[in-house]
Structure 1
Amino acid sequence: MRVSAWGLVMANGSRQAAWEFFGTELKRRREDAGITQVELGARVFVSGGYIGQFEQAIRKPQLDVAQRIDEALQTDGFFERLWRKLIKEQRFAEYFAHAAELERLATGICEWAPAVVPGLLQTPAYARAIYFASNPLARDEYVEEMVGLRMERTRLLKDAARPVYWVLLHEAVLRVQVGPPAVMGEQLEHIVETVRSRKALVLVVPFAAGAHPQMGKLTRLMEFDDAPPTVYTEAVLSGNLLDDPAVVKRVRADYDLLRAAALTPDASLAMIEAAAEGYRRCAGTT
C-alpha cells in the first residue's frame, strides 16, 4: 500500500485501520532503509519495542517522535503529515487523544481526581453540566456530541476485560456542586453503584488530610501487559503523557502517599453516600 491509498483507507476503513496503515508504512520504509527496530528506536530516542508497537498500531507515536522518524528515514515529512491528518480527524482533543487510546489498552488504571469526577465515572447529566460550565454559549448539538463521546469511554468499565480501576477523589469533588442538586445526587449515587458492583475501588482523601502530593493536577497511572507504565497529567487545555521510568516511579510514590492519606473503602463509601443523600434532600427527591 502506497501513499496514494491513504484516501481509500480513510474512506473505507476505521481509524484503527488508518493507524495500521501508518504502522505498515513505517515498517516498509524502515526495512527498505535496512534499519532494525532497535536501530531506529535509538535514532528517535525510544525503545525498539516501541517501534514494534508503532508498526503493529498498538501504540501511537507522539508528534515529536513522528518528526524524528521522518528525519531518520529521510521521508520528507511523510509521517508528520500522516500523524497530523489522523489527529485532525480524531474525536478527542489533541492533548487527550493519546491518553484515550492507551486507556483502552490498559490492564490497570490508578486515577487521582482533585476537582471533578473523572470521565470514566461521570453520568451524562454531570458531564453535560461540566461542558456548559466551560462553554456557556455552546450549541446544544456540540455539547451532546461531547457528552456522547465521554459516555463511550465509560463503556470500558462495563467490559468483561475491564482494567483494574482505582480512583482517589478529593473530598472537594463531593462538596463542590456541579449542576443542580439532583445532578450531583445522581452522580454520587452512580459512583456508589459502580463501587458496589466491583467495577472500581474509590477512596476519598478528606479535607482533614491536609497538604498532599499532586495537589491540583488530575493524574492517571496506566499499566499494560506488554508495555511500560505511563502517566497522564492534565492542566488547563493541555495534557502530558510521561513514560520516563524515573518520572513514573516518582508519580507512583506520590500516588501511594495519597492512598495512605485516604479514608478506608467503607468510610469512603459512607461519605459518598451521605453526600448523595444531602443533594437528594436539596433536590426534594427523598
Structure 2
Amino acid sequence: MANGSRQAAWEFFGAELKRRREDADLTQVELGSRVFVSGGYIGQFEQAIRKPQLDVAHRIDGVLQTDGIFERLCRKLIDDKRYAEYFAGVVELERQAAQICEFEPTVVPGLLQTPAYTSALTLATHPFAADEFIEERVTARVERAQILSGPTRPLYWVVVHETVLRVPVGGPDVTARALDHMADLADARRVVLQALPFSAGAPANNGSLRLMEFEDAPPVAYTETSFSGTLVDDPAMVKRAERAYDLLRGAALSPEASLALVRSAAEDFRRCTSTT
C-alpha cells in the first residue's frame, strides 16, 4: 500500500472512530478514560495524527461494541510488506513515540540513513535482488525518517558504536555522506548523538536496542538480530533494557566529542576517495 493510500486509510479509521464514538454518546475524554489513554490521544486518532497500538484498538472495540473492526483495521494497516513481519509493528510504534533511544553497534541507524547507504545495505543482504526491490526498501526507509521532521516528532537519542563510523558501506564516498548526514541532523538538533569509542571496551549491550516511550502508554523495548526482532513490553525486562542503555550512554563520548569523531571519520573516508 502506497504511503498516500495508507494515510487515507488511517483517515477513514479516524472518521469511523469518531462516528462510532458519537453514536455511543461518548466524549473523547470519556472514551479515552475507558481505554486508558487521554482524550487528546482519541482526538489525534480521529484526526489520523497518531495511530493506536493494537491493544488500544482492541479496547476501543470492546467499549464501543464494534465487533473487532478497529483491531482488524489496525492489523491491516500495519501489515506493510516492505518490512519484515517482526518489524512492521515497530514502525507504527515509532510514529507514536514521544521519545526513542537507540543503540546501533554496526550500521548507521535506519532513521538516520541516506538513500545511497540504505541501498548499499540492502544490496549486501540481498545481492540478487531486483532494482524494484531495492528501491522499495529505500523508499520505505525514507518514509520512516519523516517522523524526525513531523509536527509530533519524538525526542530521539542515539548511541552508535565506533564500528559504525569505521566500516565502509557502499564505498568510502557513500559512507562519508552518510556520516555527514548523521552529523548534520545532530547539528540541527533533530537527534542527540553519542559515539561509543573502541576504548570504552565491551558494550553493555551487544545487539541493536531501541527504547520507545509514549505519552499515555507504557514504554517498550525492541531488540534485533540479523534475522529476527523482539518487541518487549514486560515492565521488568524493559527496566533491564533501560539500565543497559544508561550504561551505554554513560560510557559513550559527550555529544560534542561524538560529533567531532563522526566528522573526523567522514573526512577519513573522503581522503580514501581522493587517493583512489
User: Which TM-score bucket, shorter chain as reference?
Assistant: 0.7 to 0.9
2:9 equivalent among 9, 15, 21:
15
Amino acid at match of 1:150: R
**Match for residue 45 of structure 1?**
none
**Match for residue 223 of structure 2?**
233
How far apart are the structure 2 equivalents of 1:160 and 1:285?
43
- Residues 173-217 of structure 1 show CA distances to partners (whole Å, capped at 9, x for unaligned) of 11111111000110111111111111111101111111222212x
How far apart are the structure 2 equivalents of 1:123 and 1:222?
23
Summarize the alignment of residues 28-177 of structure 1 with structure 2, pairs less than 5 Å apart: 48-49=35-36, 60=52, 85-88=76-79, 91-177=82-168
Aligned residue for 2:36, secondary structure, equals helix
How far apart are the structure 2 equivalents of 1:229 and 1:61?
12
Aligned residue for 2:190, secondary structure, equals coil
2:234 equivalent among 244, 253, 266:
244
**Match for residue 267 of structure 1?**
257
Aligned residue for 1:192, secondary structure, equals helix
**Match for residue 44 of structure 1?**
none
Aligned residue for 1:168, secondary structure, equals strand
Amino acid at match of 1:227: A
How far apart are the structure 2 equivalents of 1:84 and 1:101?
11
Unaligned runs of 5+ in 1: 1-10, 31-36, 42-47
Count of paired positions: 263
**Match for residue 274 of structure 2?**
284
Closer, same or farther: CA 144–209 of 1 in aligned 2, 3 Å: same
Aligned residue for 2:107, secondary structure, equals coil
Closer, same or farther: CA 12–273 of 1 in aligned 2, 3 Å: closer
How far apart are the structure 2 equivalents of 1:173 and 1:88?
30
**1:257 equivalenced with 2:247 (yes/no):** yes
Residue pair 2:156, 2:191 contacting (<8 A) in 1 also: yes
Quote how far apart the aligned CAs of 1:90 are: 5.2
Residue pair 1:22, 1:82 contacting (<8 A) in 2 also: no
Residue pair 2:82, 2:136 contacting (<8 A) in 1 also: no
Quote how far apart the aligned CAs of 1:145 are: 1.6
**Match for residue 211 of structure 1?**
202
Residue pair 1:205, 1:258 contacting (<8 A) in 2 also: yes
Quote how far apart the aligned CAs of 1:232 are: 1.6
Closer, same or farther: CA 128–260 of 1 in aligned 2, 3 Å: same
Worse-matched range after superposition: 15-24 or 136-145 = 15-24
Closer, same or farther: CA 275–226 of 1 in aligned 2, 3 Å: same
Worse-matched range after superposition: 233-242 or 133-142 = 233-242
Amino acid at match of 2:9: R
Residue pair 2:79, 2:88 contacting (<8 A) in 1 also: no
Residue pair 2:10, 2:51 contacting (<8 A) in 1 also: no
**Match for residue 27 of structure 2?**
none
Unaligned runs of 5+ in 2: 25-30
Aligned residue for 2:230, secondary structure, equals strand
Quote how far apart the aligned CAs of 1:137 are: 0.9
Closer, same or farther: CA 22–172 of 1 in aligned 2, 3 Å: farther
Quote how far apart the aligned CAs of 1:221 are: 0.9
Closer, same or farther: CA 87–167 of 1 in aligned 2, 3 Å: closer
Quote how far apart the aligned CAs of 1:60 are: 4.9
How far apart are the structure 1 equivalents of 2:134 and 2:259?
31
